[in-house]
Amino acid sequence: MSYDNDNIFAKILAGELPCYKIYEDEGTFAFLDIMPRADGHLLVIPKTPARNLLDANPDQMAAVMATVQKLSKAAMRAFAAGGITIQQFNEAAGGQEVYHLHVHVLPRHKGQALRPPGTMADADILSGHVEKMRAALE
């Protein structure tokens, strides 16, 4: 399978679609999932094309995972989380829906189940979560 330059994350990177941006560095970009399964659910993506982990190069993977670690620590602080769940899906049979490499970071609290997928969050709530994450990164 090849990379689709018109995927939604490529459009976010190109500035063609809005997002709730949390963090950006030379190699990665991070933003909130608009259908969060937990408060603070965010996505980390490489800035360069990679369909998924199966075709990403080692530099892309290293950059993404370094950002995942940094933002996981910030999410723990921002949401007073007791843990973090990391998810990453590859190809349709593996659960991938957007074909640009992305890693889900979900702050977790003991005894609190993840919300079911597919429910859009309120914009004011997402804006508040962005501010919490940005403050935790300072």
Q: Which of 41, 102, 104, 129 is catalytic?
A: 102
* SS3 readout for 46-84: ECCCCCCCCCCCHHHHHHHHHHHHHHHHHHHHHCCCCEE
Report yes or no: 41 and 33 within 8 Å, Cβ to Cβ: yes
Express each pLDDT in 33-88 by its tens digit: 999 999 999 999 999 999 999 999 999 999 999 999 999 999 999 999 999 999 99
Query: Does residue 1 fall inside a structural domain?
Result: no
Task: Provide the whole-model pTM.
Answer: 0.97
pLDDT score for 15: 97
pLDDT score for 92: 96
Domain with 50 in it? 8-137
Report yes or no: 70 and 78 within 8 Å, Cβ to Cβ: no
Please indicate whether residue 109 is annotated as part of the active site: no
Q: Which two tokens stand for residue 59?
A: 């530099």
pLDDT score for 53: 96
Query: Does residue 58 fall inside a structural domain?
Result: yes
Instruction: Kindly report the CATH number assigned to the domain that includes residue 132.
Output: 3.30.428.10
Query: Does residue 2 fall inside a structural domain?
Result: no
Report yes or no: 17 and 31 within 8 Å, Cβ to Cβ: no
pLDDT at 1 over 90: no
pLDDT score for 108: 98
Domain count, the chain: 1
